[in-house]
Structure 1
Amino acid sequence: MPNTSISEQARQRAREELERRGQTVKSFALQNDLNPSTVYAVLRGQSQCRRGEAHRAAVLLGIKDGVIEE
């Protein structure tokens, strides 16, 4: 069941931005030290993006405001 905390419009904008840059989801994930499966789950709305790698992916994709602490 898809998560509704991040809107479909925000996820769609993130996919369009990746496409505009000519970047695949996998290359974005690897560039940012993320698991590609996590990024796909975030873009499909299958993750709540509350903490951990999913939170980091959502912030880096620009679909969620947040802080990434190293």
Structure 2
Amino acid sequence: MVRKKRLRTPDEARRELEAQGLTIAGWARANGLRPRHVYDVLSGRNRGKFGTAHAIAVLLGIKTGEAEREAV
């Protein structure tokens, strides 16, 4: 049986980064992303439907799908 991974809420994603001792900006830079884009996805200003925002949401575990390397 394949178990689906439970999606995180943006608050859960923030807490997970904090628990790992990572700042949002540091995590963004480590993943080749602009910190402002990550903040926008986590705050809900950007829903992460397309492109880079979609990739960010997938990497954070907020959304299912695949993070396209071109978008990141």
**Fold shared per TM-score above 0.5:** yes
Give me the TM-score of the superposition, normalised by structure 2: 0.80
In structure 2, stretches of 5+ residues that fail to align are 1-7
Pairs within 5 Å for 1:46-65: 46-65=45-64
Give the % identical residues: 45
In structure 1, stretches of 5+ residues that fail to align are 1-8
Give me the TM-score of the superposition, normalised by structure 1: 0.83
Of structures 1 and 2, the one scoring higher in RCO (CA 8 A, sep 6+) is: 1
Larger radius of gyration: 2
Deviations 1:6-61 (A, max 9, x none): xxx70010000000000000011001111100000001011020111111111111
**Matches of 2:59 and 2:67, distance apart in 1:** 9
**How many residue pairs align between the two structures?**
62
- Aligned amino acid, residue 17 of structure 1: E
Q: CA RMSD in A?
A: 1.1
Q: Which runs of 4+ in 1 moved over 4 A?
A: none
